[in-house]
Amino acid sequence: MHPRRRFAVTLGDGRSLVLGDRALVMGIVNVTPDSFSDGGRSYDPAAAIEMGVQMVEEGADLIDVGGESTRPGAAPLDAAEERRRVLPVIQGLASRVRVPISVDTYKASVADAALDAGAAIVNDISGLRYDPALAGVVARRGAPVVLMHMRGRSQQMYEHASYLDVVGEVLDELRESVAFATTAGVSVERIIVDPGLGFAKNAAQSCEILARLDEFAELGRPILAGPSRKSFLTRPIGGSVPPAERDWATAATVTAAVLAGAHIVRVHAVRQMVQVVRVSDEIRRYHAG
């Protein structure tokens, strides 16, 4: 295990997010009727707000609010509908919790409105490849951005899951996203990288990335890992296990991510994964001496 580098990331609201002293837990709130994880349980804004508040009470360090399903095969959502879904939830959470709120979107107009509503971070699954205008919004607003690795769109992402060296190629493509962001005026100190487990990657490729996650430290930016309940987990545990029953498998991947140096893990089952993260961090501390 390599030492986990420490970062201080200035948020869009002026606060500072310290990364590296311990791994942070990002709770997922999907405001969608077709969420692969909860089947739309948090589609109602009031229910989504209560879910986010409960996650904070359970120990979440950040809350990530998304209005468009990005599961494999999902159809794109227009920006007006996405804003209708996420803005009331972000506003409601911002008035009730102190932890930073992230908006999971690749659309510039949605990100801009979400930052107005109280979000402090933009989490873009496309690494700024879907909507180039998003880079300008992030730069102008001074908000941190999570640049995730992805190829293609959700409907055909697995058609692009062809790599000679999955880690090397994902690293190269993340470097391109970082370069695009900084050229557009985004401060490199506000960039977080995510290798995109399960996105345009088959199960073996996702597991290899997780096993070699420490190599992503060479990008010089904080690392976010999002393995929670994803389909690649069913390869070792069985393809018939539904998402809501994959938390034990998720716990194994969260442990691996933290031991490999992840700064943030993005999860659905916050209460359980907070315990996993704390024990994993304790092991890291003993290894570091």
* DSSP labels, 220-278: -S-BEE--TT-GGGHHHH-TT--GGG-HHHHHHHHHHHHHTT-SEEEES-HHHHHHHHH
Q: What are the per-10-residue average pLDDT scores of the chain (289 residues)?
A: 90 91 97 63 84 98 93 81 97 98 98 97 96 96 97 72 94 98 97 96 96 97 97 90 95 98 98 98 82
Strands 264-267, 224-225: parallel, antiparallel or unpaired by DSSP? parallel
What tokens were used for 147? 């640049």
Q: Residue 67 in contact with residue 28, Cβ under 8 Å?
A: no
Residues near 264 by beta carbon (within 8 Å), at least 6 away in sequence: 19, 23, 24, 25, 26, 61, 62, 192, 222, 223, 224, 225
pLDDT of residue 154: 65
Which residue in the block uniquely carries the two structure tokens 């501390």? Answer: 285
Q: CB neighbours (10 Å) of residue 196?
A: 25
Q: Which residues are identified as catalytic?
A: 230, 266
Could you tell me the CA-to-CA distances from 14 to 10, 60, 147, 198, 253 in Å, in that order? 6, 20, 20, 33, 32
Q: Give the whole-angstrom CA distance, residue 123 versus residue 66.
A: 9
CATH class of 20-288: alpha beta
Q: CB neighbours (10 Å) of residue 10?
A: 16
Q: Residue 181 in contact with residue 192, Cβ under 8 Å?
A: no
What tokens were used for 182? 């900084």
Q: Give the whole-angstrom CA distance, residue 41 versus residue 39.
A: 6
pLDDT of residue 34: 60
Domain boundaries, the chain: 20-288
